[in-house]
Chain A
Amino acid sequence: MSVKEVANAVPPLQKKGLLQKFGTQRLVAIIALAALYVFFCLAGDNFATYNTFVSILDSSYYIGFLAIGVTFVIITGGIDLSCGTIMVCCALISGTLYTKLEVPMWLCLILCIVMGGLFGFCNGFMVAVMGLPAFIATLGTMMVTRGLGSIVTATASVTYPQRSADDGWFRGIFKIMGEGLPSGGVPTGFLLLIVLAVIMAFVLNKTKPGRYILALGSNKEATRLSGVSVVKWEILAYVISGLFAGLAAISYASIYSTILPGTGNGFELDAIAGTVIGGTSLSGGIGSVAGTLIGVFIMSVLKTGLPFVGLQPHYQLFFTGFVLVIAVFADVLNRRRQKN
């Protein structure tokens, strides 16, 4: 029996029953997103405008990228608490390289992503090779990267060049502003987010690494016994998370310009919440990139829309908490039904 056949044979027993339920949850997420958006258009004052749409996108890029990366980790049954602080650390280090060491911007951006991948590799190594629980390993990385950012910058903040500056071209990757364009700008980052989501969805569902990651999340022991190197693929999931954290750093710098050391933890919870709301199960083996994006957009629409109906942003946290609990409960119900 070839390894591929075995790997495919492992999940199907569970897959058949779950596919239906999994589909339902994602369906519910899509409907919820649409319903929320329509609600705010009707109830809010001036919500249904192009500029507001761009604002929603602006605030979802970095969470979106973090969430896509963390989806892979959660599918393996692990968790990545460090993605938020890795993002800030990479942004700080690459920003410092640019401002203090005059490294060219394109190189800084590439290094940002590479550094993210390296931190991800450390996470993966600790979990897959050293056998640490993912929670602890990534908690450690979270603290290390949080402190590292402050050390490298000596607690000073790092500011990326403005749009009008020579090296401000990188902002165009996420939003183009200028004469003749709408005042809110053109959200090119949306295109990037969708393209990457499509690519990663393809990687997850149609390529060997993706299928092995799904398999090992579903049943690690069975996958290992069938000859698949679970160590390699588990590390890959964390590296993907790290790479996307690096990319999220670039999007964050594009939209917000200034990065403060000591910040960043909290973002990973937003990313994880988005992932889970979108249908990825925390027990591993099931996940979808599209679902993750929908979950992230639900949170962004809430965050942007609530002020339009007169509620302050802290209500967004309140409501997101409820949404999260309901989404996970739906997942728990699915599994219970599947067991019986």
Chain B
Amino acid sequence: MKNTRKIMAFLVSGLLAATMFAGCGSSTTSGGGSSSPALADSQATDSQANERTPSGDANAAGDALKIEVVSKGFQVDFWKMVNKGCTEAAEANGATVNFVGPASEANISEQIEQFSNAINKAPAAICFAPLDQDASMDLIAQAGSSNIPLITFDANIEADTGGAVLAFVATDNVAAGAHAADKMYEKLKDKLTDPATTVRIGVMAQDTTSKSVAQRTKGFIDRMVELCGAETTSVEGHDMYNAKVDNAKVILNVGIPAETTDAAGNTTAQTLLNKSDIIGIYGSNEFSAKAIVNVNESLQKLGPDGVCAIGFDSGAVQVQAVRDGILFGSITQDPVQIGYIVVDTAIKAAHGESVSDVSVPFHFYDASNVDDPQIATCLYQ
């Protein structure tokens, strides 16, 4: 029996090895042109809002181009709308899209495995929204040396990728965060200019690892410090953003939950909203905005005469809160547009055309314009 087992084990290992080597010999890159286009200069070009034009016809041979899209998952509905845009672009160009993402935005290893699978499938191009830059570097190098066109979206890779990443498609998150600060300052100017006692503005971020969230948070904090005056504004609450100033009149209190779950998010939002001197609160993505709205149900502090709250993105809870005036307003990205442009760019790159970064516009919406056609197409339930 023992010998039989050993023989079986050897046979099976041999079979595995044989299959592997057979596979090695026949592996070819499938899909259309995969020569590496020259890396264009990184310039942010504004695309027309809501205008979606396809970039080219389907491959003459009739084989649909296969595009792999590795997103950040489906934890928030934002990505469902990105998927919608990706599918629209694929249909318009006669290509097919495989849209995947991890179960939660904390599952970095899951996303890396999905990215690895995408590369191994040798598609015409890959669109990738990295959860973490450092975890992705090895695979980005692999995509580059396999000559698979790679477009990043939503979160940027700041390190040098040696030309592997051809373009970056996203909202200008720093500017979006700054715009939220502008809007909040407009509303709270009286309370923020020379207050008698200290006032507090809550800033909630989903986590410490997502670059897009970090940019929106930092954008807000930096602009608010600029508007209120750097000598009287202190930033506290988390090591990542702390810039303590003694005897400050305005305190920007950062809150980041320990894990990306609704329960932890609610706890963080509650801690911020419970502060007695709070006059404003900002949530830098749907997760944070939703938490703020949820805890307000019992605290009842938000509103036109209460705490001024500004959110980010949309989702059913947030949009309703904006309609009801609970949220002063929110910044929305255009997820369908992001999805459309990123796949469109990927197809262009797969055809060998040169591509460049695209900055997709954002908008501020409140109860007055939430139903405007331009805004409505950006929002999702």
Q: Give residues in A with beta carbon < 8 Å to B.
A: 19-20, 23, 26-27, 30-31, 33-34, 37-38, 41, 45-53, 55, 58-59, 150, 154-157, 159-160, 162-163, 175, 177, 183-185, 252, 255-258, 260-263, 290, 303-304, 307-308, 312-314
- Taken together as a complex, chains A and B put the C-alpha atoms of A59 and B115 apart, in Å, by 12
Instruction: Please tell me if the beta carbons of B5 and A156 are within 8 angstroms of each other in the complex.
Output: no
> How many whole Å from B276's CB to the nearest CB in chain A?
25
- Knowing A34-B12, A55-B117, A58-B116 touch, does A183 contact B30 (C-beta < 8 A)? no
Number of A-B residue pairs, CB cutoff 8 Å, is 143
Instruction: Please tell me if the beta carbons of B1 and A163 are within 8 angstroms of each other in the complex.
Output: no
- Knowing A37-B16, A45-B30 touch, does A50 contact B109 (C-beta < 8 A)? no
- Knowing A157-B208, A258-B132 touch, does A46 contact B116 (C-beta < 8 A)? no
A-contacting residues, B2-27, CB 8 Å: 2, 4-5, 8-9, 12, 15-16, 19-20, 22-24, 26-27
Candidates B19, B27, B109, B141; contact of A177 at CB < 8 Å:
B141
Candidates B1, B207, B240; contact of A19 at CB < 8 Å:
B1
With most chain B CB atoms within 10 A of its CB, the pick from A30, A162, A257 is A257
CB-CB under 8 A from A157, the residues of chain B are: 132, 208-209
- Knowing A55-B120, A260-B108 touch, does A33 contact B134 (C-beta < 8 A)? no
Closest A residue to B111 by beta carbon equals A256
- Taken together as a complex, chains A and B put the C-alpha atoms of A155 and B205 apart, in Å, by 13
- Knowing A34-B15, A257-B132 touch, does A156 contact B1 (C-beta < 8 A)? no
Instruction: Please tell me if the beta carbons of B23 and A49 are within 8 angstroms of each other in the complex.
Output: yes
> How many whole Å from A260's CB to the nearest CB in chain B?
5
CB-CB under 8 A from B23, the residues of chain A are: 41, 47-50, 52-53
- Knowing A156-B239, A156-B240, A257-B132 touch, does A163 contact B20 (C-beta < 8 A)? no
Instruction: Please tell me if the beta carbons of A41 and B19 are within 8 angstroms of each other in the complex.
Output: yes
Would you call B226 an interface residue if the criterion is a C-beta within 8 Å of the partner chain's C-beta atoms? Answer: no
CB-CB under 8 A from B20, the residues of chain A are: 48, 50, 53
Instruction: Please tell me if the beta carbons of A313 and B100 are within 8 angstroms of each other in the complex.
Output: yes
**With A19-B1, A48-B20, A290-B9 given, can you name 8 additional A-B contacts, CB distance below 8 Å?**
A33-B12, A47-B120, A48-B22, A52-B117, A52-B120, A154-B239, A155-B208, A312-B100
- Taken together as a complex, chains A and B put the C-alpha atoms of A185 and B108 apart, in Å, by 21
> How many whole Å from A179's CB to the nearest CB in chain B?
9
CB-CB under 8 A from B294, the residues of chain A are: none
CB-CB under 8 A from A20, the residues of chain B are: 1
Would you call B113 an interface residue if the criterion is a C-beta within 8 Å of the partner chain's C-beta atoms? Answer: yes
Would you call B378 an interface residue if the criterion is a C-beta within 8 Å of the partner chain's C-beta atoms? Answer: no
> How many whole Å from B63's CB to the nearest CB in chain A?
12
CB-CB under 8 A from A50, the residues of chain B are: 20, 23-24, 27
Candidates B16, B108, B109, B114; contact of A307 at CB < 8 Å:
B114
> How many whole Å from A61's CB to the nearest CB in chain B?
11
CB-CB under 8 A from A155, the residues of chain B are: 208, 256, 258
Instruction: Please tell me if the beta carbons of A26 and B5 are within 8 angstroms of each other in the complex.
Output: yes
Instruction: Please tell me if the beta carbons of A260 and B116 are within 8 angstroms of each other in the complex.
Output: no
Instruction: Please tell me if the beta carbons of A49 and B113 are within 8 angstroms of each other in the complex.
Output: no
Would you call B122 an interface residue if the criterion is a C-beta within 8 Å of the partner chain's C-beta atoms? Answer: yes
CB-CB under 8 A from A156, the residues of chain B are: 208, 239-240
Candidates B16, B142, B159, B207; contact of A184 at CB < 8 Å:
B142
Instruction: Please tell me if the beta carbons of B259 and A262 are within 8 angstroms of each other in the complex.
Output: yes
Would you call B145 an interface residue if the criterion is a C-beta within 8 Å of the partner chain's C-beta atoms? Answer: yes
Closest A residue to B131 by beta carbon equals A258
Instruction: Please tell me if the beta carbons of B108 and A256 are within 8 angstroms of each other in the complex.
Output: yes
> How many whole Å from A98's CB to the nearest CB in chain B?
13
CB-CB under 8 A from A307, the residues of chain B are: 100, 114, 117, 121
- Taken together as a complex, chains A and B put the C-alpha atoms of A49 and B116 apart, in Å, by 13
Q: Show 25 A/B contacts (Cβ-Cβ < 8 Å), sorted by A.
A: A23-B1, A45-B30, A46-B120, A48-B22, A49-B23, A50-B23, A51-B146, A53-B23, A155-B208, A155-B256, A162-B137, A162-B159, A163-B137, A163-B138, A183-B146, A255-B109, A255-B112, A258-B134, A258-B209, A262-B258, A290-B9, A307-B121, A308-B120, A313-B113, A314-B103
CB-CB under 8 A from B4, the residues of chain A are: 23, 27
> How many whole Å from A43's CB to the nearest CB in chain B?
13
